[in-house]
A and B are shown apart, each in its own frame.
Chain A
Amino acid sequence: MNEAAYITGSLGFQLAQLGMWIPLCPIIACFLIFFCQVILPKNIRDSFVYQTLMKTTSILGIGFSGIIATWIFYHFWTHQLPVVNGSQVAQTLLFSTETIHKSWFNIGAHEIQVGILLDNMSAAVVFMVAWVAFLIQIYSWGYMKGEKHIVRYYCFHSLFAASMLGMVLSDNFLTFLISWELMGLCSYLLIGFFWLKKSAINAQKKAFLVTRIGDLGFFLGVFVLMGIWLQTGQPITFRFDDFAKLIHEYGINTASFSEIVQYSRQFSNGIPMYLLTAAALLFFMGTIGKSAQFPLHIWLPDAMEGPTPVSALIHAATMVAAGVYLVARTYFVFDPLGTGFSPALLVVALIGAFTAFMAATIGVTQYDIKRVLAYSTISQLGYMVMALGVGAMGAAVFHMTTHAYFKALLFLGSGAVIYGCHHVQDMRYMGGLRKYMPLTFVVFGAGTLALMGFPGTAGFFSKDMIFEHAFGAAYVDHPELWIVFILGITGAVLTCFYMTRMIFMVFFGKNRRELIPESERHGYSIEEMTPKESPAVMTVPLIILAVFALFFGWPVKYGYSDMFNSSLYVEHHFGGGEQTAVVINESKPALAQGGQRVTGTTMDRGELAHGHAAADIHGSADVDKLHDTAHSGSHSAHPSWIIIPQLLALLAVLSGIAAGYWVFFREDGRKMKDSWKRQYPKLYDIVYNKYYCDEYIQRYIVEKLLVFNMFLRAVDMYVIDGFVNAVASVTVFFTRVTRWFDQGIIDGIVNGVAAVIDSISRGIKYMQSGYVQNYYLIIVFCVLSYMIIQGHTTLFNIKAVILLIKAQFGAM
């Protein structure tokens, strides 16, 4: 991205080095707890002191990362970092020359680097994730009191937060994917925390398998990008900014598939647009799975089987935000032309808007308090994805952050309600709770207002920003996006409607605890079922979250709104500017020479423009100046139509609340509702049963898949196993042959030698008679033999002796 961000000792380098500890703190806590759990004996593990200690460890771990995240967020908020492409950046490479090695590992010539990437977006998101996870852990102290396996719960909780933080901070696809999968694992472990409940086990399996389908797409998308990378001939790195730079340098070839295949197989005319679209859609599959978008949203309501704080964590901070963050992080793939519009983004926008609308309709009919919130999460995620689809990436991440605050608040509030009602979750048995738990009512009401997007709350600003962008995109260039805007606004009305319904059913009217059937009372009598207020350890996090949910929008809206933007080499062109079309046969299409752009509806657009204009400025002193100019520029240049979506959003909120008030609080409205219910039983039934999504998927996909699995099993048993068994029997046969050879021939030779020697020695051993004179005889015999054989030459020439003797005697 930029070398300035890497300079050792610079502020960016120091912050990024510090940022490494944000995921490390909770993961250290997790491992510590894990090893204590494994090593220590059972009587210690069950002791109160140990459990308190472990809980404190976990909370401290996430608290430290929260403090570090705040420190980093402070630097970003006060513009102390170099600006690159409209976003402040602090980066460091782990395993770099300063620490251990040049890179993480090498594959051939490809040097794989990992590092920490802090920009406006990730700094804002880690701040949110760390503190929300911290508050949820504090809350769990009260909510999960008396739970036997509380230490295990905290261990998984820490790992969950750590993997989300690691994902947000990773600057490459590898660690991103690792953290992404770890999050899937943690959601599996925590949803099935009450593992004795059959439904919890089914829910955890469902969550894991359904998100795996999306993960497969994400994985394949990385492969497609790798393929593009290989085709360019550059050494592969997995880092986001390297990818963005690659796309920027090579340019985009918007020619159609057949033309490219026909005329230019190489990327000399730019990277083919269809490949990037394919990669983007595959990435979006991951988002559909993780962020519970339309076809794969079915796991999220079932995930309510987990403990309520876990639902809060999944819905607010960690799991579902990951999908949105993925698209925001890889926005350079979704929107390579920088126009805020591409085929992939159109799909994203449509799916997001449809999900937002559909989930809101389901939310109207549900009775389980957590299920209503679950569908509202799906709906809000639909808004985020819709915002991504209409080119408003900053607005999407902004909404993700505000949504995290108010949805954590709502879930923890519903947890407090459930806790107060002695684990009754059905809203039909609640009612009138504002008298029993006033504090919970106030904070829950705050969260509800934020979710509705009531003017002045955090949800208002973020949702408003999304509607402005959707409206602008539809109004100015792309009329096909009108459907997106209309679905979004309708969904907003429905959101207000069902939240009013929920507030009414839970907090107003008469308490209906006497209706609770015997089977759901957990052994309490009606008198004992009297609702009660939660302890302070639960209410204090709620109050903090309520403050954030109500007021977080103001500083962002009127302070530094570009906080949620991170544009890796994507140059945005919003509004009526000419589209940067890239023509085939042009070797280096110039992205930056795009049309004149109308300054955006909200500040992030304006900021971005000035950020580009002064992209060469690195350094805090200049950044302030840049920021000031950008700031003034952004406020002055609202187009005149901007008032329309703002008014429409306001109207949606008010009409939704009014309709809800009329239908649920007023007698005549309630009568009308009941008559409608009777009049259209079929429609109600379909919506109540969630459009039979689960059933359709079960019937047309899962069961077909099971049949296919039976076939695969048969193949496995008869073909694969048969082959393996055949190989085995051939091996056995050859082994028999070699065994025969070994035993018969090799052993025969060895034994034969031994037997021959044995029989010979049996014969000649009697020479050893034991009589000394025999030995003497043999010695004499041998010496004499030697003399006779060798004697005629050297030692004893017997002939010469005889001759000598004859001569002597003859001479005498």
Chain B
Amino acid sequence: MAQVIPVYHVLVVSALLFSIGLYGAMSRRNAIGILLSLELMLNAGCLNLVAFSAKWGPTFTYQTFRAQEDVSSPVGQIFVIFVITIAACEIALGLALIIAMYRHHRSIDVDNLNLLKW
């Protein structure tokens, strides 16, 4: 049986991915960069979902010709597909906002958008 990657390794990768996204979201001035970072964080979460689903999620018995094999159900993966779909919409919305911002400011630097303050 092939060696299964332990779920903790996936979690560590996911945590790293999230941290990169967090750093990017907080440090980038470019609005598109921020959107990309947000996407990274979202995908980190998706990775977690897949990992948890594979480890602790429901299983079902897969009957082959010769033998019987317990297989984890792909619930996490399916959920992640939904999340990616929604995220695509969200990105489209974000990009539309960025276009509007560019038309107004001739720039997509978020530091120019500081009018709403004290």
Contacts and interface: CB of A to CB of B under 8 A. Distances in A.
Contacts of B25: 773, 776
A219 to B, nearest CB: 82
Given A766-B118, A769-B114, A771-B110, A804 B8 contact: yes
A766 B26 CA distance: 19
Given A766-B118, A771-B114, A777-B26, 8 more contacts: A768-B118, A771-B110, A772-B110, A776-B26, A780-B22, A805-B8, A808-B8, A809-B8
B115 A808 contact: no
A809 B9 CA distance: 9
A799 interface: no
11 contacts: A766-B118, A768-B117, A768-B118, A771-B110, A772-B113, A773-B27, A776-B26, A777-B26, A780-B22, A805-B12, A808-B9
Interface string A753-773: 000000000000110111111
Interface in B1-22: 6, 8-9, 12, 22
Nearest to B12: A805
B67 interface: no
A773 B26 contact: yes
Contacts of A765: 118
Contacts of B117: 768-770
Contacts of A766: 118
Q: Is the interface of A mostly helix, strand, loop or mixed?
A: helix
Report the contact-size class of chain A (Cβ under 8 Å from the partner).
10 to 19
Interface of A: 765-766, 768-773, 776-777, 780, 804-805, 808-809, 812
Given A770-B116, A772-B110, A780 B26 contact: yes
Interface residues of B, number: 16
Interface in B21-75: 22, 25-27
B97 to A, nearest CB: 12
Given A780-B26, A808-B6, A770 B114 contact: yes
B90 interface: no
Nearest to B11: A805
Q: Is the interface of B mostly helix, strand, loop or mixed?
A: helix
- Among B25, B110, B118, chain A packs the most CB atoms within 10 A around the CB of B118
B44 to A, nearest CB: 15
A770 B113 CA distance: 7
Interface in B64-118: 110-111, 113-118
B116 A773 contact: no
B38 to A, nearest CB: 10
A769 B111 CA distance: 10
A673 to B, nearest CB: 119
Contacts of A777: 26
Contacts of A804: 8
A773 B110 contact: yes
B8 to A, nearest CB: 4
Nearest to B7: A808
B86 to A, nearest CB: 21
Contacts of B113: 770, 772
In order of increasing CB-CB distance, the 10 nearest A-B pairs are A770-B117, A770-B114, A765-B118, A808-B8, A768-B118, A768-B117, A771-B114, A772-B110, A770-B116, A773-B26
A766 B114 CA distance: 12
Contacts of B6: 808, 812
A791 to B, nearest CB: 15
Contacts of B27: 773
Contacts of A809: 8
Contacts of A771: 110-111, 114
Nearest to B29: A773
Nearest to B116: A770
B10 to A, nearest CB: 11
A804 B55 CA distance: 15
Contacts of A776: 25-26
Contacts of B111: 771
Contacts of A812: 6
Nearest to A805: B8
Contacts of A780: 22, 26
B5 to A, nearest CB: 11
Contacts of B8: 804-805, 808-809
Contacts of A770: 113-118
A776 B6 CA distance: 33
Nearest to B8: A808
Contacts of A808: 6, 8-9
A770 B116 CA distance: 5
Contacts of A769: 114, 117
B67 to A, nearest CB: 29
A812 B4 CA distance: 12
Nearest to B9: A808
B108 to A, nearest CB: 12
A558 B12 CA distance: 143
A139 B118 CA distance: 95
A812 B25 CA distance: 34
B93 to A, nearest CB: 16
B117 to A, nearest CB: 3
A765 B116 CA distance: 12
Contacts of A773: 25-27, 110
A616 B8 CA distance: 128
Nearest to B118: A765
A263 B115 CA distance: 106
A804 B114 CA distance: 43
A804 B8 CA distance: 9
Nearest to B6: A808
- Among B26, B115, B117, chain A packs the most CB atoms within 10 A around the CB of B117
B25 to A, nearest CB: 7
A812 B8 CA distance: 11
A402 B8 CA distance: 136
- Among B8, B22, B116, chain A packs the most CB atoms within 10 A around the CB of B8
